[in-house]
Structure 1
Amino acid sequence: MVAGRGAELLRPATSSGRASFLELFFDLAFVFALTRVSQRFAGVAGGAGWALAAGLGRTLLLFLALWLIWSHTTWITSRYEPERSIIQVVVVGTMFAGLVMAVTLPRAMEERALPFAVAYLAVMVVRPLVIAAALRGHPRRLVAFRLSTWAAATAPLWLIGALGPDGLRLPLWAAALAVDYLAWALGWPLPWIGAAAVGSWRIAGEHLADRHQQIFLIALGESILVIGAVFSGEGYSAGRAAAFAIAFATSALLWRIYFHRAGGLLTEALGRARMPGRLGTASERTHTLIVLSVLVTAVGYQLVIGHPYGQPRPTWLLFVVGGPVLFLVARVRLEYEIFGRISRSRMIGLVALLLVTPALAYWTPMGGLGVVAGVLALVGLLDARRSRQRPPEDSASPIGRGKPGSQGSEA
């Protein structure tokens, strides 16, 4: 590691891999934000055709904007010492911007578009400059300059989308967000100074794993809030009580399936990786899908508890079945990242859900959720059976094994 001015901000090897109290405080804003995302998904669930597709697209875009803010903050606290005052100021400032985005999110594609965009740009453009200034002469400042430059390049799309006609907002913001994600994947390349090799970054891998596990639990906690809020707000009936119980069991199964072996070994895998940045990048993408799947599943809970024996609506299957399907897809990916293999039990569950989905279009919502819970229970039982037959495994991730290359002074 290159020493020099600003080096005191770098996270030392002796730093704790656990999330700091400040980061847990930061997550409170995202508890609220994820609730807003779930409610917005629920608001479009009753639509059909183009209205449904457009509503889902808008909500997905807003979620991905929030996720980018959370992910960048997690990487910052994995690379820099969170106990330093300037990093704490950055995290608290980001928390406030995230709270503004969450407050405006229900109408962010309508009349509250400007404050949402300004809060997003304040984090993406201004925050890296603050970190670069704090790093002073340290070579890592070039990463922050790259990020800020790319974010500034897409800022006109965000602002024109916020201030312009409503019809242009979705395509302009989608283009801007796509560039922001692509730039991150490419390492924010710039002329003369090149790109930052994100996969080669020196980070606290155990800390990054801890944060990914925590955001999954936060999303799962949001689903529990939905279950409780919807059931307590509706008139009592035996059907709603049964839907409440099945929804809770489904969330418990999602927790069990995630942490069984692979999810529980994420910290070990990132701690052992010779290039934790590479495995951390893959894990971040996987957890994007996992968190999104839990939010979508929570909307299914809301629909079923509200109308357990209502008329079958094929569009509801996007939430009741689509959320768990997306979760199993992401969990298969996580299994590969940790062990280098594809999970047979999760593939069985995935195929089973896809096969029964056409029939569920004619079932009541309660029946659909019950089948989903049964398939997830089958996956859990197959996992438990396999665990009894084999000793505990160590992580054997095929990602991040290579020798750290010439990372330069930015790594």
Structure 2
Amino acid sequence: MIRARSLMRSATSGDGVTRLELFFDLVFVLALWQLSHHLLEHPSWVGAGETFVLLLAVYKVWVYTTWSATLLDTSRLEVQWMLLVVMLVTLFMNASIGSAFGAFGWLFAGSYLLVQLGRGVWMLTAGLDRTTHSHFVRTLIWGWMSTPFWIAGVFFGPELRLMFWGLAAAIDLGGHMLAHRLPGRKTEGSSVPLPGERIFERFGLFYLIALGETILSTGLAIAGNLQDPFIFLTGTISLAGSVAIWWCYFHGLEQDILDRLKSVDDQFRPGILAGNTLVLLLAGLILVAVGDQLVINDPAIRPDLSTVLLLYSGPALFLAARGFLIRQVLNRRTPSDLAGIGALVLLATVSFLLPAFIAAMGAVLPLIGVAVSDAVDRRRRTHQAVR
């Protein structure tokens, strides 16, 4: 059934992010905490693989719902109910993350498919324009392609479940990266009525919530180790890392990208690029949160391989994703990101010989260096623009 009156956003709908959309985001605080806790309990390659597959599913629910809400008029009651229903089902999906590879895999996969396919079908009744309607049809086709693997994984143990769900998540991610292209059918970005500035603002707000979860995890770890003489030092190091990440993303870079989006006609492609990058930025934050908790729990021991990888891969993944975003959207190279990654690799090789709290300090210093370099470069470009 197609609605007589379209639910799509109009020029008079307003571009601001609504309180309901921010309220919807809060259900994902639980998801991010569950994901970091799952990796903390399973600090292995298998645990990392499970966490990443679950992260991809959680992210797909958030990003597709966010894209849908961005295209629609969120002041309409039907759209508000759609967001609230998705929020309810997602709450149960996120609650089952800790046992998704155990007894409640059916709840995680079932909730995921109900949201993705149900919302997709509902969008086809929302009175979309021809181009957008065609795109959501292709989105559903990609969703149906991965569905058998999500369902099959439920009937097997953790090892085979990871294989089936990993394949399903790869299909879903591939569809997103290809803008759900099918043979002979693709979306012309300039014809999609996507407000790129608004969608990128949503990405930034969600990333800010994810940073908040990192601080929450650090705070809970501190609360459980208040008797430790190192607690003030390790807590400060952890917060310094979060502040450096915030600075590197929000202090100037976000505004540069928003300014860039104002000057281009095709805002669809930058939106896809930003969405693909955000999942890597989120993965980096989860790694950072888990690494910080391990150090706070036992700061004086020499870190093992898993602790070192968690401490250093998170910041490295953040810098790599940030550099990719800057290069693709702003067409600008960032030597500081490459230098920061190089420094992280070098420091990681010697961190096995050091106490964990010093290794954690080594993981934060390159981030601070990149933040300082950004500030200097921004001041230089500002002076050049004034002349």
Q: Is the shorter-chain TM-score for this pair beyond 0.5, marking a shared fold? A: yes
Find the aligned partners of 1:127 and 1:277 in 2 and give their Cα distance: 21
Describe the shift of the 1:389–1:143 C-alpha distance in structure 2 as closer, same or farther (beyond 3 A): closer
Q: CA deviation at 1:189?
A: 4.7
The answer to whether 1:321 aligns with 2:319 is no
The answer to whether 1:13 aligns with 2:21 is no
- SS of structure 2 residue aligned to 1:135: coil
Cross-structure match for 1:285: 276
Cross-structure match for 2:344: 353
Structure 1: runs of 5 or more not aligned = 46-51, 395-411
Q: CA deviation at 1:135?
A: 2.0
Describe the shift of the 1:190–1:259 C-alpha distance in structure 2 as closer, same or farther (beyond 3 A): closer
Q: CA deviation at 1:41?
A: 1.3
Q: CA deviation at 1:30?
A: 0.5
Find the aligned partners of 2:182 and 2:349 in 1 and give their Cα distance: 49
Conserved in 2, the CA contact under 8 Å of 1:199 and 1:281? no
Find the aligned partners of 1:309 and 1:283 in 2 and give their Cα distance: 39
Deviates more, 1:74-83 or 1:132-141: 132-141
Find the aligned partners of 2:225 and 2:264 in 1 and give their Cα distance: 49
Find the aligned partners of 2:281 and 2:367 in 1 and give their Cα distance: 15
2:138 is aligned, of 132, 137, 146, to 146
Find the aligned partners of 1:296 and 1:230 in 2 and give their Cα distance: 15
Find the aligned partners of 2:131 and 2:373 in 1 and give their Cα distance: 50
The answer to whether 1:94 aligns with 2:86 is yes
Q: Which amino acid aligns with 2:46?
A: A
Find the aligned partners of 2:330 and 2:176 in 1 and give their Cα distance: 26
Q: CA deviation at 1:163?
A: 2.3
1:258 is aligned, of 249, 252, 274, to 249
Q: CA deviation at 1:198?
A: 5.6
Conserved in 1, the CA contact under 8 Å of 2:316 and 2:344? yes
1:83 is aligned, of 75, 88, 104, to 75
1:363 is aligned, of 350, 354, 379, to 354
Q: TM-score, normalised by structure 2?
A: 0.93
How do residues 288-307 of structure 1 correspond to structure 2 at under 5 angstroms? 288-307=279-298
Cross-structure match for 1:401: none
Cross-structure match for 2:58: 66
Conserved in 1, the CA contact under 8 Å of 2:17 and 2:198? yes
Conserved in 2, the CA contact under 8 Å of 1:187 and 1:197? no
Conserved in 1, the CA contact under 8 Å of 2:71 and 2:194? yes
Q: CA deviation at 1:186?
A: 3.4
Conserved in 2, the CA contact under 8 Å of 1:187 and 1:198? no
Cross-structure match for 2:37: 39
Describe the shift of the 1:38–1:130 C-alpha distance in structure 2 as closer, same or farther (beyond 3 A): same
Find the aligned partners of 1:185 and 1:370 in 2 and give their Cα distance: 35
How do residues 202-221 of structure 1 correspond to structure 2 at under 5 angstroms? 202-221=193-212
Cross-structure match for 1:225: 216
Find the aligned partners of 2:190 and 2:60 in 1 and give their Cα distance: 17
Instruction: Output one character per residue of 1:17-46: Cα deviation in whole Å (capped at 9) or x when no partner.
Output: 32111111100101111111111111112x
How do residues 238-277 of structure 1 correspond to structure 2 at under 5 angstroms? 238-277=229-268
Give the root-mean-square deviation of aligned CA atoms.
2.2
Conserved in 1, the CA contact under 8 Å of 2:131 and 2:191? no
Cross-structure match for 1:112: 104
Cross-structure match for 1:123: 115
How do residues 141-220 of structure 1 correspond to structure 2 at under 5 angstroms? 141-189=133-181, 194-197=185-188, 200-220=191-211
Q: TM-score, normalised by structure 1?
A: 0.87
Cross-structure match for 1:22: 20
Describe the shift of the 1:143–1:375 C-alpha distance in structure 2 as closer, same or farther (beyond 3 A): closer
